[in-house]
Amino acid sequence: MSFVPNQFDDVSIATIRTLAADVVAKANSGHPGAPMGMAAVAHVLFSRFINANPKNSQWFNRDRFVLSNGHGCALQYVLLHLLGYKLSLDDLKAFRQIDSKTPGHPEFHHTDGIEVTTGPLGQGISAAVGLAIAQAHLGATYNKDGFDLINNFTYVFAGDGCLMEGVASEAASLAGHLQLGNLIVVYDDNHISIDGDTNVAFTEDVPKRFEAYGWDVLHVDDGDTDLKSIYEAIAKARTTPTPTLIRLRTTIGYGSKQQGTHGVHGAPLKADDIQQLKTKFGLPADKTFYVPEDTYAAYKEVGVRGAELESKWNALLESYKSQYPTEHAELTRRISGKLPENWEKNLPVYTPADAAQASRKLSEIVLSKLVPAIPDLIGGSADLTGSNLTRVKGMVDFQHPSTELGTYAGTYIRYGVREHAMGAIANGLSAYGGIVPYVSTFLNFVSYAAGAVRLSALSGHPVIWVATHDSIGLGEDGPTHQPIETGAHFRALPNCAFWRPADGNETSAAYKWALTTKSTPSILSLSRQNLPNLEGSTIDNAVKGGYVVHEVEGEALTIVSSGSEVSIALEAASKLQAEGIKTRVVSIPCWLVFDQQPQEYRLSVLRSGAPILSLEALSTTGWQKYSHEQYGIDTFGASGPYLQVYEKFGITGTNIASVGKKVVDFYKKKGGDVVSPILKAF
Amino acid sequence: MSFVPNQFDDVSIATIRTLAADVVAKANSGHPGAPMGMAAVAHVLFSRFINANPKNSQWFNRDRFVLSNGHGCALQYVLLHLLGYKLSLDDLKAFRQIDSKTPGHPEFHHTDGIEVTTGPLGQGISAAVGLAIAQAHLGATYNKDGFDLINNFTYVFAGDGCLMEGVASEAASLAGHLQLGNLIVVYDDNHISIDGDTNVAFTEDVPKRFEAYGWDVLHVDDGDTDLKSIYEAIAKARTTPTPTLIRLRTTIGYGSKQQGTHGVHGAPLKADDIQQLKTKFGLPADKTFYVPEDTYAAYKEVGVRGAELESKWNALLESYKSQYPTEHAELTRRISGKLPENWEKNLPVYTPADAAQASRKLSEIVLSKLVPAIPDLIGGSADLTGSNLTRVKGMVDFQHPSTELGTYAGTYIRYGVREHAMGAIANGLSAYGGIVPYVSTFLNFVSYAAGAVRLSALSGHPVIWVATHDSIGLGEDGPTHQPIETGAHFRALPNCAFWRPADGNETSAAYKWALTTKSTPSILSLSRQNLPNLEGSTIDNAVKGGYVVHEVEGEALTIVSSGSEVSIALEAASKLQAEGIKTRVVSIPCWLVFDQQPQEYRLSVLRSGAPILSLEALSTTGWQKYSHEQYGIDTFGASGPYLQVYEKFGITGTNIASVGKKVVDFYKKKGGDVVSPILKAF
Ligand SMILES: [Ca+2]
Ligand SMILES: [Ca+2]
C-alpha cells in the first residue's frame, strides 16, 4: 500500500484544527494544543486505516481507537462528529458543560464511539493493551481458515504524560512480552508538557526504552504536514509481529501564533489567534463551528466504507454459523454479553459440616467450577498465582505461541508484578466485549492500582479483583502487607462492590453477584486463614449484601461484621449468650449491595431496640453507618503468626464478648430508645 | 582500587547464607532464596565499600543501603547483626514474631540501621532515588573546597519484582534525567519470581531500558562466587557520572538442593537441606544460628573502620565550623531536625476583610513566606506546577548543572508526570534528614501514589502533599479528575493527616501542623475555586483539627463541614437563622488531629442537644463519626463550570438550609435526647 493523497485531505485537516480551537474557545476551557498538533495523523488514521462503522459503534470487529492523552478530547469529539457518530455540532458546542455528551475527558458508555475512559494519564494506553489482548485471544479462539472474524487493530494516541506514567511502562513491557502485533501507539512527541519543555523532567530515550520492551519503533519527523510519512508508518506498523510505537514529532497547537509552546497546551486560543488560524488554513475567519461540505463529504465516504465492511463481516459471520455452529453460538453469545445458561448452578454450596477453609481457597473452588463453564473468564495474577489461587486446573497461559509457554487461546495471563497495569488492562479486556476478566493480588496491593480501579467503577467495567490476604490474618509478612484503610477506600469509591465473604456460601454469593452485574467492578477481599462454614449463611442471603446470620429475639446486642471476623462475632455472641446477654449477629459482606436493598429489609437486619457493635479487622472508618459502636484496627498491623496478631489487636471471641458487655452496659445506663443507625432524616 | 581477597571472605559469606536459612527456618516463614543468592555481593559491599558506623546508625554522611526486595530482609538483619548494629542473635531468632525488632519486612524507625521501609515492591529503589537526591542537594549546598562533608553513596539491592513495578520505572527515569552518579543499584537477576521463571512475564531487555533512562549498566555474570568481578563493578559504579545498574546474575537459594528454583523463594528450607548447606560451606551441620569467630572478627573490623570514618568526619565538621560558621550552624540545625527559630511567625493571618482566594493560592502564599525562611523545604510537582502553585518566587530548579536549567543546590524538583515515584522519592528525601519535602498534584491523583503515601504513614515521614483541585470544584475537567473517595481513603490510613482547610487561617494552620510534626505525613486538600475568609477562623483554632467556627446558644442544628464547603454551611446557617432555626457551624479541617484533642474539647465542639449534619463535597463515608446525618457526594461528579456542578449536586446554601430543616424536623418528631455521636461506650 502506498499513500494516495486526495483533494479533501487539506480541508479536512484544517477543519479538525479550527473546529477543535472553536470547541475549546466556546467552552472557555480545555486543551487545544494536542488536537491541533495531532490533526494530520488523526485524519490519515481515520480516513485511510480505521475500520469502523459510525452508524454502529458496537460492531464487534471494529478497530479500537484510544485517545490516551484524553485531555485532547476535543480532537476525538470533532472526529466522531465528522464521521457521523451520534454527536452533533450542538454537542460540540456543549463541550465541558453539565450533562453534555462532551465532558472534559472522554467517558466510556457516556459518548457514542468512545472505547475506554481516558484522561487520568497512562490509563488509556494501558487499557489499550487489554483491548489488544482481547483481540488476540478471541481471534485465536474463534478464527478459522477462511474466517478471519476477529482481526481488528487497536490504535492509540499518547503524549509525553502518558509515557511518563508507571502504569504505562508496566503495560508496555507486558505488551512487548506478549508480542501484540495488533497494537499501534502514536506517540505525540511535541516536547511540551504542563511544566513546559519536556527537557525539565523527561529526557530519557523513549524509542530505545520501547525497543527494550520488544516493540518496533518507527519515526515520523514532520507529523504536522507530512501525510505520506504518517501513512507509511501506520501501514508498516500493521505488518510487524510486535507492538509498534510511532514516534511522531509534532508542533503543539500547530497553526496558532503560540504554536510549539506550553501556552497552547491547556488554555483556549485568543479570538484573534483563532481568526488568523482559520485564514492561514483557508477557512473563513468570521465563521465559528464551520465545517466545509468537502470535509463532511470526505468523512461520509469513510463512513460508507465502514458500513460496507460491517456488512461483509456480518455475511462472513452467517457463513461461519453454518460451518461452525457451536463456535458461532458461543461467540455470538459472548458478544451479546450473556453468560452461558445456568452457569450459576456450578456455584458450590456449603453446610457447617464442611471443613473450614481460607476464603482464597473457597474462591479457587468457585473458579475451578466456573472457569470450565464460562469461557468468557480470563484470569490472571500480578505474580502471586500460588498465593491468590487463581489459576485452576486445565487453564492454559495466554502467551505468544513462540514462547511454548502457552497460546493466545490461553485464558490465564501472567501479569508480572504490575498491579496498576493489570487493573487498566482488565478495563480494556472488559471494554472489548466477550470477556469477563478477573485479576488478582494481595488486597493491600490493589491500592497500587487505585487509578485503574477508579476507572473500572466510573466506566462500569465489571472487572473482578481476587484480593487475597485481606487483613492482619496474613500474619508474618507484617504491616507493610496488611491492609487497614483499603476497605474504607474502595467502599467509598462509587459503584465499586467491595465484597468480604465470611465463608463458602458467601464466597459463592460474591461471585454470583460479581458475574451477574453488567456495570460494576467487584473486589473480593479474601482471607489467607481458614474460616468455618457458618450456620445461617446461604447464597441467597449473602447475595443481598447483608443478612442476619444468627437471629435471636429480644436481643441486648447485635454484632455486625464481615469476612473473617463473622465467625469471631459468632463466638463472642455465644459467650455472651452463656452469660445471659442475648446477641444477634449480622454479616454484611458488601455495603454497596446491602445499601441497594429495600429499606424495610435493611431495617429488619439492622433493627432498632438494641445497640449494634461493628467488628472488622480493618479501619473502623465508615462502620458508623451501620452501628452505634465500632471495633476494628485504626493503627497499622504487626508481624507475627496470625493468631497472635489477632490476639494482640483484641479480635478474639473473648475480648469481643467483653467489649460487647461494655456496649450493653453503656446503652443501659444511657437509657432511652436505641434507634437503628440507618434510620435517616433524608 | 582492585580487589584484595582476605581469609575471612568465604567464611563470612557462608555465615550469611546459613544464618539466613536458619532465621527463616526458625520462623517457619520468610524468604531464604534472595538472602542466599545475594550473600556474596552483600559481603563485598559491606566489607569493602559501605562507609557507616554500626555504633551510630545516625551518622549523617553514612552510605545509605536499601534492600528494595524487602522480602529478603533476613539478609539485612543478618548483616546488621554481624556488623554490630543493635540487633542480637536473639532478635534474629525472633524473626517475624510479634513485637520483635525483625518484622517480616524491614521497617524504618523500628530497627536500628534500616534506612527506609521496604517490601511493597518498587518502593525501596524509588525511595533510594530520594536518598540520592538528598545527598546531591545537601552536598551542593554545604560542601566547600576541602570540605567534602556530604558525599555518601546510596546502594540498592533490587530484584525482578521491583524492576517490574511502574513506580520504579518512573523513579529510574527521573534518576537518569537528574544524572545521580551517587546511586548504585544491584539488580539481582536470578530469573525467578513468585510465578516461576521470569520468562513467563518479564522478558524485556532490562539493561537496555536502563541505558535508555541514561544509566550506566554493568554486568557480573557470576554473582554467586566471583567476588573480584563484584568488587570491580561496584568500584567502577562509584566513578561514573550517572546512576549505575549492576546486573548481577545469581542463583536464588545458592547452595540449597533446590537452588535456582522458585521453591526457595518464599518458603523455609527443609532441615536436611540446611544441614547439607552448612556442610557444603564448611560450617558445622548440627549447629543453628552459628557464627564463627572469624566472621564476627571480620565484621568487627568493618565496624572499626566505620567508627574511624565518623571520627574523621566529626573533626572535619569542627573545622568547617570555624571557617563557615553560618553554613555550619544551618547544616547542623538541619541535621538535628529542628526548623529555624520562629519560622511559624511567617505564617500569614487573615481577617474576613481579606479577599476570597482559592486555598491552592493561599498555599502558595504560605510557601512564598516559608520557602525563604526554611531552607529545608524541597518542593516539587508532578508536572502541574502552574496549577498546584508550588514553585514560589526565587526558587531554583534542582537539576544537573550541565542542563543549565538549574543546579543541585536548587530546591524545586520537576518530577514529571510521575506521582507514585514522587511520593516514594519524598519518603527518601525525608528519611535522609535535613530536608522537609513537599510534593504536589491534583488530589485525585494522590491515589496513583497510594503505595508510597502508605509507607510515609507507616514509616512516619512528615512528607507534605499539596493536593489541589480537591473536589467537583475543579469543574470542567469532569469526573475523571474529581475526587470522591479520596478523603475517606486517606482519613482511614493510620497516621496520615488529611487536611482540608476552609480559608486562609486554616491553610496556615495546616502548614503549621504539618511542619511541626516529626512523624506524620500530611495531605493538604486544596480548592481550585475561591473561598472567603471566615469570621471565627484562627490559626490557633484550626490547628486543633476542629473547632466551632460559628457559635450560637440553644441551637436547633449544628452543621459540621470542611474545606470549601464550610462557607456554604455558614450560608445555610444564616438562611436557617433567618427562619428562626438557630444553627451552629463546626469546621473540622483534619480528623486525625481533632481526634487527638481531649474528649472534653471534642465534646464541646460536637456537643449533645441538637442534631449534627455533615457537609462535604466528597464521599460521606466516615462522617457518621461526627454527625447524625450526612450530606455529600456518593456518586461520581460531573463536567461543567464549577458553580453549576455544585448546584447539580445540591451543595448550595439554599439546598443545605432545606436539608437542615428536614434534619431538625426529623429529630423533633423522633423526640428524646440527641446525644453527641462522639460519646462512645469504649
Ligand atoms: Ca506532550
Ligand atoms: Ca527475582
Contact A540, A597 (CB under 8 A): no
Residue A49 gets which letter from DSSP?
I
Q: pLDDT for B28-57, tens place per residue? A: 999 999 999 999 999 999 999 999 999 999
Residue with cell 530536608: B435
Is A616 a known active-site residue? no
Residue A224 corresponds to which cell in the numbers above? 504536522
Judging contacts by C-beta atoms under 8 Å, the chain B residues touching residue A476 are 27, 29-30, 96, 104
Residue A399 corresponds to which cell in the numbers above? 502467551
Residue with cell 545521580: B180
State the ligand closest to the CA atom of B69: 2
CA A94 remoteness from chain centre: 27
Q: Is the pLDDT of residue B193 over 90?
A: no
> Which one-letter amino acid corresponds to residue A598?
P
Q: pLDDT for B426-461, tens place per residue? A: 999 999 999 999 999 999 999 999 999 999 999 999
How much is the average pLDDT of A374-389?
Answer: 98
Q: pLDDT for A118-146, tens place per residue? A: 999 999 999 999 999 999 999 999 999 99
Q: How confident is the model at residue A362 (pLDDT cuts 50, 70, 90)?
A: very high
Domain count, chain B: 3
Q: How confident is the model at residue B607 (pLDDT cuts 50, 70, 90)?
A: very high
User: Helix (H, G, I), strand (E, B), or coil: what is residue B248?
Assistant: strand
CATH number of the domain that B232 lies in?
A: 3.40.50.970
Query: Percentage of chain A with pLDDT > 70?
Result: 100
Alpha helices in A267-358 (DSSP H): 271-280, 293-323, 325-336
State the ligand closest to the CA atom of A260: 1
Domain boundary among B264, B288, B308: B308
Shared-domain flag, residues B375 and B293 = no
- Cβ B492–A495 below 8 Å, yes or no? no
Cα(B388)–Cα(A267) distance, rounded to whole angstroms?
Answer: 16
Return the pLDDT at A389: 98
Q: How confident is the model at residue A289 (pLDDT cuts 50, 70, 90)?
A: very high
Q: For chain A, how many helices (H) and strands (E)?
A: 26, 20
Cα(A123)–Cα(A119) distance, rounded to whole angstroms?
Answer: 7
Shared-domain flag, residues A663 and A573 = yes
- Cβ A485–B493 below 8 Å, yes or no? yes
> Which one-letter amino acid corresponds to residue B537?
S
> What's the complex ipTM?
0.98
Interface of A with B in 243-302 (CB under 8 A): none
Return the pLDDT at B45: 98
- Cβ B415–A201 below 8 Å, yes or no? yes
**Catalytic, out of B107, B419, B555, B565:** B419
On whether residue B330 sits in a domain, the answer given is no
- CA–CA distance from A595 to each of A677, B30, B500, B522 (Å)? 13, 41, 28, 32
- Cβ B621–A619 below 8 Å, yes or no? no
Q: Is residue B192 a known part of a binding site?
A: yes
- Residue B402 forms contact with A (CB below 8 Å): no
- Residue A396 forms contact with B (CB below 8 Å): no
Shared-domain flag, residues B400 and B467 = yes
Q: Is the pLDDT of residue A157 over 90?
A: yes
Cα(A3)–Cα(A235) distance, rounded to whole angstroms?
Answer: 9
How much is the average pLDDT of B262-268?
Answer: 91
On whether residue B492 sits in a domain, the answer given is yes
**Catalytic, out of A115, A419, A506, A616:** A419
Q: Is residue B190 a known part of a binding site?
A: yes
Q: pLDDT for B141-162, tens place per residue? A: 999 999 999 999 999 999 999 9
Shared-domain flag, residues B514 and B588 = no
Neighbouring residues of B668: CB distance < 8 A, sequence distance ≥ 6: none
Interface of B with A in 513-532 (CB under 8 A): none
Shared-domain flag, residues A526 and A663 = no
Q: pLDDT for B413-426, tens place per residue? A: 999 999 999 999 99
Domain boundary among A308, A333, A357: A308
On whether residue B316 sits in a domain, the answer given is no
Cα(A452)–Cα(A424) distance, rounded to whole angstroms?
Answer: 5
How much is the average pLDDT of A270-280?
Answer: 97
Residue with cell 460540540: A92
User: Helix (H, G, I), strand (E, B), or coil: what is residue B375?
Assistant: coil
How much is the average pLDDT of B498-517?
Answer: 98
CATH number of the domain that A661 lies in?
A: 3.40.50.920
- CA–CA distance from B222 to each of B13, B34, B358, B387 (Å)? 15, 15, 59, 50
Shared-domain flag, residues A549 and A494 = no
Shared-domain flag, residues A406 and A527 = yes
Q: pLDDT for B621-642, tens place per residue? A: 999 999 999 999 999 999 999 9
Treating both helix axes as pointing N-terminal to C-terminal, what angle do A293-323 and A73-83 enclose, rounded to 10 degrees?
A: 80
Q: Which of B120, B214, B681 sits opposite A480 (nearest CB)?
A: B120
Shared-domain flag, residues B597 and B631 = yes
On whether residue A316 sits in a domain, the answer given is no
Measure A191 CA to ligand 1 centroid, in angstroms: 6
Cα(A358)–Cα(A386) distance, rounded to whole angstroms?
Answer: 14
Q: Is the pLDDT of residue B65 over 80?
A: yes
Return the pLDDT at B368: 98
Closest CA to B363 of B571, B527, B546: B527
Shared-domain flag, residues A555 and A475 = no
On whether residue A678 sits in a domain, the answer given is no
Helix, strand, coil percentages for chain B (3-state, nearest 5): 45, 15, 40
On whether residue B300 sits in a domain, the answer given is yes
Which range of residues forms the domain containing residue A168?
Answer: 9-308
Q: pLDDT for A567-613, tens place per residue? A: 999 999 999 999 999 999 999 999 999 999 999 999 999 999 999 99
Shared-domain flag, residues A634 and A509 = no
The nearest CA of chain A is from the CA of B177 a distance in Å of 6
On whether residue A67 sits in a domain, the answer given is yes
Q: pLDDT for A211-270, tens place per residue? A: 999 999 999 999 999 999 999 999 999 999 999 999 999 999 999 999 999 999 989 999
Judging contacts by C-beta atoms under 8 Å, the chain B residues touching residue A384 are 194-195
- Residue B99 forms contact with A (CB below 8 Å): yes
Q: pLDDT for B94-132, tens place per residue? A: 999 999 999 999 999 999 999 999 999 999 999 999 999
Judging contacts by C-beta atoms under 8 Å, the chain B residues touching residue A450 are 447-448, 450, 489
Q: Which of A211, A477, A681 sits opposite B629 (nearest CB)?
A: A681
Return the pLDDT at B194: 86
Shared-domain flag, residues B96 and B192 = yes
Neighbours of B211 (CB within 10 A): 20
- Residue A59 forms contact with B (CB below 8 Å): no
Domain boundary among A501, A531, A561: A531
Q: Is the pLDDT of residue B292 over 90?
A: yes
Alpha helices in B433-503 (DSSP H): 443-446, 450-459, 486-492
In three-state form (DSSP H/G/I as H, E/B as E, the rest C), the secondary structure along A511-577 is HHHHHHCCCCCEEEECCCCEECCCCCCCHHHHCCCCEEEECCCCCCEEEEECHHHHHHHHHHHHHHH
Cα(B535)–Cα(A477) distance, rounded to whole angstroms?
Answer: 50
Cα(B557)–Cα(B70) distance, rounded to whole angstroms?
Answer: 52
Contact A277, A269 (CB under 8 A): yes
Judging contacts by C-beta atoms under 8 Å, the chain B residues touching residue A494 are 484-485, 619, 634-636
Shared-domain flag, residues A259 and A123 = yes
Of all residues in chain A, the one with the smallest CA distance to B667 is A681
Contact A501, A510 (CB under 8 A): yes
- CA–CA distance from A268 to each of A191, A220, A366 (Å)? 20, 28, 53
On whether residue A473 sits in a domain, the answer given is yes
- Cβ B670–A670 below 8 Å, yes or no? no
Cα(B176)–Cα(A177) distance, rounded to whole angstroms?
Answer: 24
Q: pLDDT for B456-506, tens place per residue? A: 999 999 999 999 999 999 999 999 999 999 999 999 999 999 999 999 999
- Cβ B492–A621 below 8 Å, yes or no? yes
Q: Is the pLDDT of residue B1 over 80?
A: no
Closest CA to B624 of A676, A198, A497, A39: A676
Return the pLDDT at A194: 86
State the ligand closest to the CA atom of B252: 2
Of all residues in chain B, the one with the smallest CA distance to A613 is B681
- Residue B203 forms contact with A (CB below 8 Å): yes
